[in-house]
Structure 1
Amino acid sequence: MSNGSGRLLLDTNVLVYAHDPRNRRKQELALTVLDRAIATERATVSAQNLSEFFVVVTQRLPERLEVRAALRQVEHFAASCRVLEVTALVVLEACRGVQVHGLSFWDAQIWAAARLDQTTYVLTEDAEHGRSVEGVTFLDPFGPRFDARAVDLRA
């Protein structure tokens, strides 16, 4: 997919829920989304997501991962997913996303990385499901309106 069409940027909450047993439903959904996105070679993450994941699972979860285990997961994501760098251009585009579209900065930085990469979808619970901003559509994989068939993630 040279134009990025169909790629899925998996936000930090998807990565974290896959490792957080407190909400079994969200954990199962996150694992399914991760597995299908990786299996179809459409999984994308930003370097920001990898950093946030490491901090959350080692410092903020009640059942924290050991640093070594968290590092292994980050290595797995880095090897299994397309990783988008956070460059000066991404930061500048994020600032524009805040100004023009009213996004919070960290969400804007994820959006900017996806937009500049021509990634079609951002899977996150942190944005309005179905909202499209300059060619990037936000989908909540944990919400009632999420349809895995719409992004070809069905088993």
Structure 2
Amino acid sequence: MTSKAEGASKEPINEQAVANMYATMRSEINQLYSKITELEMEVSEHSLVIGAIQPLDPSRRCYRMIGGVLVERTIKDVLPAVQRNKEGLEEVISRMNEALEKKKKEIAEFEAKYKIRIRKPDNEVKDDDNRKEGSSQGVLVGPASTKNE
């Protein structure tokens, strides 16, 4: 029994522990994907703002939200700040993409080490599709058949 306890402290022997670690790793990857997507949307918004104010007169007034406070500035003051913010966001996105690639490699090594194959979601998807088709047909056919009758 002591050998099992020693082994458990070094690497997870229990299938449930391996599954929990795998689920945690998958969750981290999903969080990275969602954060990257969120930041890419912000970069897109910054690009739209830059495209809108760049051709305008630099001495023209414009308003910028800084920390929840709307501030009046001129375009010549705001444009460089928005461009710097966009560049900063792009740098963060590139670092997050690198971290994502590392996590992908890490999870691939974990899958290979513990011979993890994801079969349950495929079977569950097939079962869910059959259930969804049956239930959705009942919902869709019910009102359609009452209208036709």
Per the normalisation by structure 2, the TM-score is 0.22
- Name which one, 1 or 2, has greater alpha-carbon Rg: 2
Q: Going by fraction, where is strand more abundant, 1 or 2?
A: 1
Q: Which of the pair has the greater relative contact order for Cα pairs under 8 Å at 6+ separation?
A: 1
